[in-house]
Amino acid sequence: MEKKTVEVTITKGGPIHAKGLFTFKDSSGHEETKEHDLYLCRCGGSSNKPFCDDTHRKIGIKE
């Protein structure tokens, strides 16, 4: 398999965007290795953690 770097972007005022082939392990221990394209909450307010649900737009997020 061709090796590609996984890119993790901290978006300004928004979530963490993680894109590429990596293993994603959630807090219950479930893990999946594949091509992911995930938006992960970093404002602490999402109702769909660990994923972003756009709550940061309501509550704001510091840099």
Which residues are at the interface with another protein (CB under 8 A)? 5-13, 16, 18, 20-28, 31, 33, 38, 40-45, 49-50, 59, 61-63
Give the nearest distance from C-beta 2 to another protein in angstroms: 13
Q: Which residues contact 7 (CB under 8 A, 6 or more apart)?
A: 17, 18, 19, 20
Other Cβ atoms within 10 Å of 8 Cβ, number: 13
Amino acid at 24: F
Q: At its nearest, how many Å lie between another protein and the CB of residue 11?
A: 7
Q: Smallest distance from the beta carbon of 59 to another protein, in angstroms?
A: 8
